[in-house]
Structure 1
Amino acid sequence: MILLTILKWLGIALLCVLALLLVLCMCILFVPVRYHISVTCMDRWSAHGVVSWMFHILHLSFDTDGKKGTRLRIFGFPVSARENAGSRKRKRKKKASGVPAGSREPSQKEPEKDFGKPEVSLTEVKQMHKEPESMENETMEPSGKKKRSRFIALRNRVKKFFLSIKGIFDKIKAVDREGLQLIRLLLVNGGKLLKHIFPKKVRGWIHFGTSDPAQTGEILGAVSILFAMYGQGVRVIPDFDQAVFEGKVELRGSLMGIILLILVIRVHPIRLVSYLDGK
């Protein structure tokens, strides 16, 4: 009887563990991972966002503009405490040196200032008496050249991307029939995966322009094609007079584990690995 009772309770415990594992697997497969990303470009680039799962049980946040960095929380408790550990080490060093944590380290004695008659050169006098228009032109020209160089770099990257795609398709032509079938599966299911991961909501505005109106029109045509599906959410404001690039875009989307699992199974990963090993 005692042995049967022990086996009974062991069976109940095993069933409870299996039930918990089943619930966990169902949550992983059917509870979506949600993300919210905001990208801003005014004087400089900045981005911050949040990735959460299961009512923020898992919460990942990142911020490029500030001291927060990347933080991971599970049930509201921080997992990585690099910043806290670093601050503790600094406090320990200050205590060991005898300096209070809140006070600053004593600086060296500042040299005595000379309040005598300042010496002004002839070039400095000429710069002081410059016309305001010439000074404005000197300040505006570098910023315009900098923004134009950004567009040129972006255009070169787009060209390089399309050239790399062309090279990939040239290599595909030399692959055998089985390889073509696997590549077709990868492209089809990879496109479906990107469509699933792609943000469902995009909101914001983009204000751009170059000093060349023709180049601005070409970029406007390309941007209009890319943002055709989000025409109501994203405002594209072209500027044909000056070189400028600024804006703010917010992205919201989600990813479900069951969709990812189905797409991976459709690719036949075992067959793909065996084909690559044979090559």
Structure 2
Amino acid sequence: MSWWKAFIEHPRVTAARKLVWKHGKFLLKHIFPTRIEGQVTFSFEDPALTGAALAVLGMTIPFHKNCIQINPRFDSENYLYGNIRAKGRIYGFVPVRAAVSIYFNKNIKYVIKRWKTRRA
């Protein structure tokens, strides 16, 4: 455990984690659609499951910004019908640029080398 704690708290490992987090956030922001719209109607055999699924889908509102209309049906049948349109862009060089800048970073190379030579 002491090796793991020292490894995770090392300044170069922390810098590598921050770099990967920064590029990961940028990639997620780049990949998410710019416009999304649609409607979904669903139900399960058990109305309690329908309510639980509706609660989980309610937590996704920050991602689609309430542009997807979700209609639950609380009758006793399995039902799923929907229509969603998403518009966005993904340029191929953005993930490649992120991967290259992460791989050639000196802190990442240090983490890889130290990971390969660890003694558990």
Report the TM-score when normalising by structure 2: 0.68
Distance in 2 between the 1:190 and 1:198 partners?
12
SS of 2:40 mapped into structure 1: strand
Shift of 1:229: 4.3
Matched, 1:217 2:51: yes
Runs ≥4 in structure 1, deviation > 6 angstroms? none
SS of 1:255 mapped into structure 2: coil
Q: Tell me: CA distance 1:227–1:269, structure 2 relative to 1, closer, same or farther (3 Å).
A: farther
Could you say which residue in structure 2 is the equivalent of 1:196? 30
Residue identity in the other structure for 2:68: V
Instruction: Give 5+ residue unaligned stretches, structure 2.
Output: 116-120
Could you say which residue in structure 1 is the equivalent of 2:118? none
Worse overlay, 260-269 or 221-230: 260-269
Give the % identical residues: 22
Shift of 1:263: 4.5
Structure with bigger RCO (C-alpha 8 Å, 6+ apart): 2
Shift of 1:231: 4.3
Aligned counterpart for 1:251 among listed residues 86, 111, 116: 86
Could you say which residue in structure 2 is the equivalent of 1:207? 41
Note if contact 1:189-1:266 (Cα within 8 Å) is conserved in structure 2.
no
Matched, 1:276 2:112: yes
Shift of 1:176: 3.7
Q: Tell me: CA distance 1:205–1:175, structure 2 relative to 1, closer, same or farther (3 Å).
A: same
SS of 1:206 mapped into structure 2: strand
Distance in 1 between the 2:55 and 2:16 partners?
35
Distance in 1 between the 2:56 and 2:88 partners?
24
RMSD between superposed Cα atoms in Å: 2.9
Give the length in aligned residue pairs.
108
Instruction: Give 5+ residue unaligned stretches, structure 1.
Output: 1-171
Q: Which protein is bigger by CA-based radius of gyration? A: 1
Note if contact 1:185-1:266 (Cα within 8 Å) is conserved in structure 2.
no
